[in-house]
Amino acid sequence: MTLLAAAIDDGGSGGDPLFTSKCYDAFRNDWFCWQYVADRRQELVDATAQHVQITLLSVALGLLIAFPVALLARRSARMESAALGVATGIYTIPSLALFPLLVPFTGLSLSTVVIGLALYALTVLVRAIVDGLRAVPDDVRESAVGLGYGPMRLLLRVELPLALPTIVAGVRVATVSTVALTTVGSLVAYGGLGNLIRDGVRTNFRAELVSAAVLCVVIAVLFDIVLVLVQRWLTPWARKGAAT
């Protein structure tokens, strides 16, 4: 015991490598440990890459579903209520129930998590698209129609550009929430950093838990910054209006 304690206190400098003390070993188990990040760098990189992939695929699929649903929903108040009601109803389904419901159709795969998260994102995305399109001034639509714009051209050239700030705001909310919800994918072993968080909680591995949680926050912040920059790039007129 004396030899073991001395080796641990020594920090492994010149001692037996079997008794080298690390800030994330069972004897110390620190919350913050850069040595863990260095030693498990590849594991963290792989988990982060999977987390980003799942988030991007889920939001993209959510947009593909939400866009046509929003176009139908804006036609009448009844259709809007029905669409938002269904989207909100899906969002209230616990992930512990939704993912197992998808497994018989998709198996224990990446698709299970992506589809589930895309369905969760609908409640934000559908509302954002509907609100954005409805916010386009009627006189702008009438002017475009008077210039000979058809329904598709009106949508793509007039309505969508003017609705972009509202739509991107919704995408930002959906993306940040999806970054957090992706961790639930650990239920089917496709949770990105959620796999490490689950393992850290299960084994009381503090450095693993904190490192994965911090990376989730970093990913969410970076996604939010990127989307803000994309919005500014796509809507230069909004910057000019704010400057004046």
| d(C-alpha 11, C-alpha 17), whole Å | 10
- Asked whether the beta carbons of 214 and 223 are under 8 A apart, the reply is no
| d(C-alpha 160, C-alpha 168), whole Å | 11
- Indicate the number of domains in the chain: 1
pLDDT of residue 21: 63
pLDDT of residue 242: 53
CA torsion sign for 150, 152, 155, 156 is negative
Q: Find the CATH number of the domain harbouring 167.
A: 1.10.3720.10
pLDDT of residue 58: 96
153, pLDDT greater than 80:
yes
In a domain, residue 79? The reply is yes
In a domain, residue 25? The reply is no
Q: For residue 32, report the phi and psi dihedrals to the nearest 5 degrees.
A: -115, 125
* One-letter amino acid for residue 4 of the chain: L
In a domain, residue 34? The reply is no
In a domain, residue 27? The reply is no
Per-residue pLDDT of 96-152, as tens digits, reads 888 888 888 888 889 999 999 999 999 999 999 999 998 888 888 888 888 887 888
In a domain, residue 3? The reply is no
Per-residue tokens: 119: 């369905």
Query: How many Å from the N-terminal Cα to the C-terminal Cα in the chain?
Result: 74
In a domain, residue 10? The reply is no
Per-residue tokens: 177: 């929430």
| d(C-alpha 27, C-alpha 7), whole Å | 12
| d(C-alpha 69, C-alpha 66), whole Å | 5
More confident residue, 15 or 218: 218
In a domain, residue 128? The reply is yes
pLDDT of residue 31: 73
Per-residue pLDDT of 56-102, as tens digits, reads 999 999 999 999 999 998 888 888 889 989 999 988 888 888 888 88
* One-letter amino acid for residue 112 of the chain: T
Select from 171, 164, 172 the least CA-distant residue to 232. 164
pLDDT of residue 30: 65
Please compute Rg for the chain using Cα positions. 24
- Give exposure, 171-204, as e/b (b: 16+ Cβ within 10 Å): bbbbbbbbbebbbbbbbbebbbbbbbbbebeeee
pLDDT of residue 221: 95
Q: How confident is the model at residue 186 (pLDDT cuts 50, 70, 90)?
A: confident
Q: How confident is the model at residue 19 (pLDDT cuts 50, 70, 90)?
A: very low
In a domain, residue 13? The reply is no
Averaged pLDDT score across all residues of the chain:
82
Domain of residue 172 covers 49-243
DSSP secondary structure string for all residues of 142-198? HHHHHTT--HHHHIIIIIHHHHHHHHHHHHHHHHHHHHHHGGGGGGGT--THHHHHH
